[in-house]
Amino acid sequence: MTGTFLLPDLAPVPQVMRAGDLAYGKGKVLLVVIAHADDAAIFAGGVLALFVQAGWQVHVLRVTDDRWDSVGLVEAETIARNAAELRAAAKVLGLAGVEDLGWQTDVLGDASRVALRERLIHAVRRLKPYALLGFDPNSVLYEDNLDHKVLAEALDEAFWTAMFDKHHPEHFAEGLGPHGSVERWYFGRMVAAVTHVFDTSNVIETQMRAVACHSTPIANMAAQYALQAATAGRPQGETVAALTDPTQALCAQLCLAAAEKGRPFDLAAAEYLRLHRTRFARDIA
């Protein structure tokens, strides 16, 4: 999360969203598909809190096991800690459920795209979400994590292939059937064409409490920052704050970014998303 925060290109008239604007989905399922444990809280924690406030049933599906996202820990402990921290963050946000696929982290580029898509199709058919939320496949220009890129493309394909009655008939043997979601919400490091600006002013503290649950990957971020500072020859004192309390440092940076996003819309804090809504649902919200 280091570096200058940049505002992405905005759609002609982005719609400002608050919890009340999501009331059309009360009781409906939002399926959030993430690559890593901390993705949901960092990229969309405020948005998820608003969906929950509006009465949506929010489920998170994590694809990888995050076995390498730590510093100074063995793989088994890293896996266990990240799984527990994700569930702690989900509790803070009020999410309805968390599931893990357990794929090895940071190597989705070597994984079968079709096999990954099948697992996502299975989740869509099983949970029957009204809407999906995940990484924006059109924002990959600003994305340096291959896991994020691969997952974005797989989820986008799963959105429509889950509706086919000939894709993965083994699912039907389990009692599942084709399912059509009607909304795709996208987040990213820099969303390519923002359609909706979520007012997170009243939930930013909740988001930061969820982010703070992820102490294991945050410590790893701090260690990377220290390595970069050493390479750049920066004085050691400049990294002390981040290394002493990396969670506080990250939360402060995220709050500044949220304030920067909100400023053009007179909001104290905001998150940007892009929406693709099936035409049958356009009169609903």
The per-residue pLDDT for 2 is 40
Q: Is the pLDDT assigned to residue 230 strictly greater than 80? A: yes
Residue 195's H or E segment, with its range, is strand 194-199
All structural domains of the chain, each given as residue ranges with its CATH number in brackets, are: 10-279 (3.40.50.10320)
Q: How confident is the model at residue 152 (pLDDT cuts 50, 70, 90)?
A: very high
Cβ(46)–Cβ(258) below 8 Å: yes
The model's pTM: 0.92
Q: Which of 80, 60, 55 is nearest to 123 (CA)?
A: 60
User: Model confidence over 2-41: pLDDT tens digits?
Assistant: 444 456 666 678 999 999 999 999 999 999 999 999 999 9
The per-residue pLDDT for 229 is 85
- As a whole number of angstroms, the distance between CA 177 and CA 190 comes to 35
3-state secondary structure of 141: helix
The per-residue pLDDT for 12 is 73
Q: What is the DSSP string of 217-284?
A: HHHHHHHHHHHHHHHTT--THHHHHHHHSHHHHHHHHHHHHHHHHHGGGT-SSEEEEEEEE-GGGTTT
Q: Is 211 exposed, middle or buried (0-12, 13-18, 19+ CB in 10 A)?
A: buried
The per-residue pLDDT for 91 is 98
- As a whole number of angstroms, the distance between CA 270 and CA 201 comes to 7
The per-residue pLDDT for 182 is 96
The per-residue pLDDT for 4 is 42
Lowest mean pLDDT among 3-17, 87-101, 181-195: 3-17
Please state, in angstroms and as integers, the Cα–Cα distance from residue 15 to each residue in 49, 52, 133, 263, following that order: 18, 19, 17, 15
Average pLDDT, the chain: 92
Q: Is the pLDDT assigned to residue 281 strictly greater than 80? A: no
